[in-house]
């Protein structure tokens, strides 16, 4: 199996662990560091809806809190007919920690897949350079 297929499997497997009693919309993520470590993420909802945390941000916050700062790839998976579309907040977090050209693989049901970059997901992004 290729490394990339392994990352996709990690993101898809996270769908079964997502805590989504309110939306019933599971999302899974696999964030890969430059040295090949992987961090799995899933969405975690709350009865106070606004506190819910997306799968992508779970993966980033797990990794960053373990001292990781350099990332090479992100996979996001959903049970969606089209490749899942990451929310705006998660795109901004990608912009914080990833190079604009970093690849992001978006997965849906039935093997649907879309390859994008962080910059394609968030053009004209706001970063530290704008401060």
Tell me whether residue 56 is one of the annotated catalytic residues.
yes
User: Which position has the token pair 């089209």?
Assistant: 82
Of 87 and 125, nearer to ligand THU (C-beta) is 87
Short-list 130, 44, 125, CA closest to 91: 125
Q: Which of 6, 56, 70, 96 is catalytic?
A: 56
Residues 6+ apart with CB under 8 A from 101: 117, 118, 119
Residue 4: CB atoms within 10 Å: 14
- Here the tokens at position 62 are 């797990």
Of 3 and 88, nearer to ligand THU (C-beta) is 88
- Encoded one letter per residue, x for contact with ligand THU by CB under 6 A and - for no contact, window 3-22 reads -----------------x--
**Footprint on this chain of ligand THU (rule: CB under 6 A):** 20, 23, 25, 27, 43, 45, 52, 54-56, 86-87, 90
């Amino acid at each position: 199996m290729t490394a990339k297929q392994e990352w996709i499997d990690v993101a898809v497997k996270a769908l079964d662990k997502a805590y989504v009693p309110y939306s019933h919309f599971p999302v899974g993520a696999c964030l890969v560091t430059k040295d090949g470590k992987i961090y799995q993420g899933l969405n975690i909802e709350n009865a106070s809806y606004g506190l819910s945390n997306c799968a992508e941000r779970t993966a980033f916050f797990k990794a960053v809190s373990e001292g990781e700062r350099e990332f090479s790839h992100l996979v996001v998976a959903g049970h969606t007919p089209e490749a899942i579309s990451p929310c705006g907040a998660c795109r901004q977090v990608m912009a914080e920690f990833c190079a604009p050209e970093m690849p992001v693989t978006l997965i849906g049901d039935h093997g649907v897949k879309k390859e994008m970059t962080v910059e394609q997901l968030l053009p004209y992004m706001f970063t530290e350079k704008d401060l």
